[in-house]
């Protein structure tokens, strides 16, 4: 654990990025996909070629390929600021490129138009899928489990169960829908070297899964620095496709940022980088229809007079970009999760436990509602 005293979350300036022109919002994910469009996989792939955009030649295409951007969807997900930084394109050019990509995606039915009736948004939200956490209490708190197309943040002190939740989710996502999964794989971005395949094997066996098969469906990437972590997330698109992943874990979000950006003077840069990273995660969740789960540490908040004097690190940038935030705390042998700042979940609490099955319901306790 790092010294929290350098985390000046309260005083951080909020950096507003100018990437909104190419930004992808919640309303962008069209329901139609390759199967509905009546096109073959090859025809779809050709439509997604960057070079099919007007005015984009081989030089630009190569520069984009060099930084891991292979399709029009990748262009849209990465966004203009990221593309400008990675390729040394002028910002104007990157913005234009992203706008063209977006128009093309609307044209071929991959994205919805900018303005849509609320009924369409409602219908689309009915398509959101959920992954069971392993505890029915916790699932109930999440109204069915961890959602696709959203970023769910679990934060809490050491040993509160963040990494255990991530491990259990990596297995549960593989289960069929009727058992709480999405019949998909998982991608685990491990920044703290706490990914433990042996623990996964044990949990898999306890849950009646084949441990070898289960491990083969989890792709792990160790992030050595914050910029490496950003690079990995920037390249997620291809890996998600090739591994049929429905879940992306980032455990933990802030570890590297906290150790690399020490002191007040570096805070603005850190928040700027973090903001970009968070937007990339959100866009990935939305456009790839995956659940993104990340963990976060807490720091003490001496200015809090009431309640638990801890808060998640990362400041407003993280608080505003996570779709759902759950605060975990220890309670004897059990753990208590509380939903914070959700657009539609009530502020309930749920009791769960950590055992040989990973995350589980406590033997004796029932969900405690506030």
Ligand X SMILES: Nc1ncnc2c1ncn2[C@@H]1O[C@H](COP(=O)(O)OP(=O)(O)OP(=O)(O)O)[C@@H](O)[C@H]1O
Residue 356 in contact with ligand X, rule: CB under 6 A: yes
49 binds, among ligand X, Mg ion, none (CB under 5 to 8 A by kind): none
Choice between 2 and 103, CB closer to ligand X: 2
Point out the residue whose Cβ comes nearest to Mg ion. Answer: 163
The overall longest dimension of the chain from CA atoms, in Å, is 65
Helices 197-206 and 162-172 sit at what angle, rounded to 10 degrees?
A: 60
Choice from 87, 132, 163, 323 touching Mg ion (CB under 5 A): 163
- CA–CA gap between residue 356 and residue 366 (Å, rounded): 19
x-or-dash pattern for Mg ion, window 182-221, by CB under 5 A?
Answer: ------------x---------------------------
Tokens of residue 103, six digits:
């128009």
Gap between the Cα atoms of 203 and 219, Å rounded: 17
- Before 252, cis peptide (omega within 30)? yes
**Which of the residues 118 through 157 are near ligand X (CB under 6 A)?**
156
- Distance, in Å, from the CA atom of 84 to the CA atom of 99, rounded to the nearest integer, reads 14
Least Å distance, CB 331 to ligand X, is: 12
Size of the site for ligand X (CB under 6 A): 13
Chain positions 162 to 181 lying near ligand X, rule: CB under 6 A, are 162-164
Q: Which is nearer to Mg ion, 149 or 295 (CB)?
A: 295
SS3 at position 42: helix
Cβ atoms 72, 49 nearer than 8 A? yes
Q: Applying CB under 6 A, which of residues 79, 80, 145, 161 lies at the interface with ligand X?
A: 161
Question: Nearest 5°: phi and psi at 328?
Answer: -110, 140
Nearer to ligand X, 158 or 224 (CB): 158
Least distance from C-beta 220 to ligand X, angstroms? Answer: 16
Q: Which two tokens stand for residue 35?
A: 């199967």
Of 282, 341, 236, which is closest to residue 25 (Cα–Cα)? Answer: 282
Least Å distance, CB 308 to ligand X, is 15
Give the residues lining the site for ligand X (CB under 6 A).
Answer: 156, 158-164, 194, 297, 354-356
């Amino acid at each position: 654990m790092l010294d929290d005293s350098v985390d000046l979350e309260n005083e951080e300036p909020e950096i507003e990025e100018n990437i909104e022109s190419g930004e992808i919002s919640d309303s962008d994910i069209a329901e139609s996909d390759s199967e509905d469009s009546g096109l073959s996989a090859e025809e779809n792939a050709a439509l997604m070629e960057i070079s099919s955009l007007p005015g984009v030649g081989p030089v630009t295409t190569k520069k984009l390929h060099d930084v891991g951007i292979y399709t029009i969807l990748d262009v849209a997900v990465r966004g203009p600021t990221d593309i400008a930084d990675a390729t040394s394109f002028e910002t104007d050019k990157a913005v234009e490129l992203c706008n063209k990509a977006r128009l093309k995606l609307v044209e071929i039915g991959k994205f919805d138009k900018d303005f849509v009736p609320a009924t369409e948004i409602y219908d689309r939200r009915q398509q959101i899928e959920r992954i069971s956490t392993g505890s029915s209490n916790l699932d109930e708190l999440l109204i069915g489990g961890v959602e696709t197309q959203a970023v769910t943040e679990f934060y809490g002190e050491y040993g509160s169960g963040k990494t255990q939740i991530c491990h259990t989710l990596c297995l549960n996502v593989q289960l069929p829908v009727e058992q709480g999964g999405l019949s998909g794989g998982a991608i685990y971005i491990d920044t703290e070297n706490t990914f433990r395949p042996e623990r996964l094997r044990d949990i898999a066996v306890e849950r009646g899964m084949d441990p070898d098969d289960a491990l083969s469906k989890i792709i792990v990437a160790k992030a050595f620095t914050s910029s490496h972590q950003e690079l990995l997330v920037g390249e997620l698109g291809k890996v998600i496709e090739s591994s049929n992943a429905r879940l992306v874990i980032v455990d933990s979000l802030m570890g590297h940022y906290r150790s690399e950006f020490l002191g007040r003077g570096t805070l603005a840069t850190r928040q700027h980088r973090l903001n970009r990273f968070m937007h990339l995660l959100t866009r990935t969740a939305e456009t790839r229809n995956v659940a993104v789960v990340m963990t976060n540490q807490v720091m003490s908040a001496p200015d809090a007079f009431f309640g638990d004097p801890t808060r998640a690190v990362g400041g407003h940038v993280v608080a505003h970009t996570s779709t759902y935030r759950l605060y975990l705390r220890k309670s004897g042998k059990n753990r208590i999760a509380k939903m914070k700042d959700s657009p539609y979940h009530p502020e309930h609490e749920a009791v769960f436990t950590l055992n040989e099955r990973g995350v589980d319901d406590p033997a004796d306790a029932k969900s405690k509602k506030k």
